[in-house]
Each structure stands twice: as structure tokens, then as C-alpha cells.
Amino acid sequence: MIHIENKEKVVFIENTIIRDGLEKEFERLPLDFEYPLFGYFIVIEDIKELEQSIILKYGNTNNTIRPDNDNIEMIEKFNGYSQIVCIQSADFGVSLFVSDRIATYEQLVKLFEI
């Protein structure tokens, strides 16, 4: 699991599809978005990471994500990866990036029962 602490860390992601997706998401963030204070991105490297609680590095409320957690808002499918959007509080969210090589969209929907 790789916590993306800032935009500069994206270049170190080996999977080019995930790296491109992260770059696009950084471009989409509003100018007043304080990254990672308001939210951040995590790259999942193994399906087992999603089967247990994920401890967040940032955020001050409900600092874990679990498969049985209600804070998972949606799973969005892209070309080659999926993005799991988790809202931790009214002003903090996390997106998990999962390559299709690790888990397909269908597997993620089943795991998180969305």
C-alpha cells in the first residue's frame, strides 16, 4: 500500500495506468483543496490490503477503512483500474486506486457489497 502524500510522489508509481490516473485526479482537485488535509490517495498493491482495516495517515476522524464500513461511497471503473471513494467525514475523503491486475471492478463490488 502506498500513501500518496503529495503530487511529487506520483512519479514513483511503477504502474503507468495508475500513475496516469493519479495525475488526472490531482488535476481535477479544486484550487482551494488542501491536500492531504482534506483527503488523499492510496495505491493498493495487494488484494489482501483490502480484506483488512486500512489505517489512514491523515484525517482526524474515523481513521480506518474496512470492507464492512459504511463510509465507502462508490467504486468507479476506469480503463485498467478502479477507484474506491471513501468519505470519512464531511470534509475529509480518501480514494483507493486498485489496478485491474489486483482486483477487477466486479471483485471490488462483491468485496465491499456495493
Q: Mind giving me the DSSP string for 74-100?
A: EEEEETTEEEEEEEEETTEEEEEEEET
What confidence score (pLDDT) does residue 88 get? Answer: 81
Mean pLDDT of the chain, nearest integer: 89
Counting beta carbons within 10 angstroms of the beta carbon of residue 70, is it exposed (0 to 12), middle (13 to 18) or buried (19 or more)? exposed
H or E element at residue 110: helix 105-112
Question: Which pTM does this prediction carry?
Answer: 0.89
Residue-number span of the structural domain to which 17 is assigned: 2-112
- Say which residue, 82 or 50, is predicted with more confidence: 82
Question: How many structural domains does the chain have?
Answer: 1
pLDDT bin (cut points 50, 70, 90) of residue 24 is very high
